[in-house]
Amino acid sequence: MQSKFFFLACLCLLVFTQCNYAQPKAAATNSEPSSVGKIELPDPKKMTKIVKSDEEWRTLLGEETYRVLRQGGTECAFTGSYWNNKENGIYLCAGCQLPLFESAAKFESGTGWPSFYQPIKKGYIEEKLDLSHNMKRIEITCARCGGHLGHVFDDGPKPTGLRYCVNSASLTFEKKQ
Ligand SMILES: [Zn+2]
């Protein structure tokens, strides 16, 4: 009798545990779209990293994009192509064309650099502590090609409170039709 009770208790525990595991997974799938318009959004966990030699990047990218994207440079504020862009569309990595930000998440930060409160998918952006120039900042890079995008700060607007401060040179823009 006792062993029967023990068996039933184990079974209940197993079902309960499985349910608990299943719920967050389902929620995560729903909140992560697989495309934006016609642009496919690859699964960050299955993405193949793009690796090129320094010489290949130098040939592929223009001088300013190479300096910012591959050498961690920063463009001068209010000089890039997109800080004041208000058009509807998608911002892609200038190195590998991974869709990074939607115009819906862009906001007026007053900094002179394109600013977003969230990326299209969190897994598309990698973060790294940057202690250069006597500052403590979080550098953001493209998760697929490793290109330098800018920095993320915690003084952004709702709903995330984050400010992804990105160089225009690290981005290309695709207007929504
Ligand atoms: Zn990239």
pLDDT (0 to 100) of residue 40: 86
How many angstroms does the Cα of residue 144 sit away from the middle of ligand 1?
5
The pLDDT tens digits for 43-93 are: 999 999 999 999 999 999 999 999 999 999 999 999 999 999 999 999 999
CA distances (Å), origin 57, targets 47, 54, 61, 91, 146: 20, 5, 6, 20, 12
Query: Residue 48 has which token pair?
Result: 């193949």
How many angstroms does the Cα of residue 18 sit away from the middle of ligand 1?
37
Residue 171, Cβ neighbours under 10 Å: how many?
A: 27
pLDDT (0 to 100) of residue 61: 97
Residue 153, C-beta contacts closer than 8 angstroms, at least 6 positions apart: 137, 138, 162, 163, 165
How many angstroms does the Cα of residue 19 sit away from the middle of ligand 1?
37
Tell me the backbone φ, ψ of residue 163, rounded to 5 degrees.
-130, 105
Query: pTM to 2 decimals?
Result: 0.81
How many angstroms does the Cα of residue 97 sit away from the middle of ligand 1?
6
Query: Residue 150 has which token pair?
Result: 């800018």
How many angstroms does the Cα of residue 141 sit away from the middle of ligand 1?
8
Residue 90, Cβ neighbours under 10 Å: how many?
A: 22
Q: State how far the Cα of 121 lies from the Cα of 28, in Å rounded to an integer.
A: 11
pLDDT (0 to 100) of residue 7: 52
Q: State how far the Cα of 108 lies from the Cα of 86, in Å rounded to an integer.
A: 9
How many angstroms does the Cα of residue 171 sit away from the middle of ligand 1?
9
Catalytic residues, by residue number, are 165
Termini Cα distance of the chain: 69
How many angstroms does the Cα of residue 5 sit away from the middle of ligand 1?
57
Which segments of the chain have a pLDDT < 50? 1, 8, 10-30
Parse the chain into domains and list their residue ranges.
1-30, 32-175
Q: Give the CATH class of 32-175.
A: mainly beta
pLDDT (0 to 100) of residue 177: 74
Residue 91, Cβ neighbours under 10 Å: how many?
A: 26
Q: What angle do CA 109, 174, 41 make, to 5 degrees?
A: 95
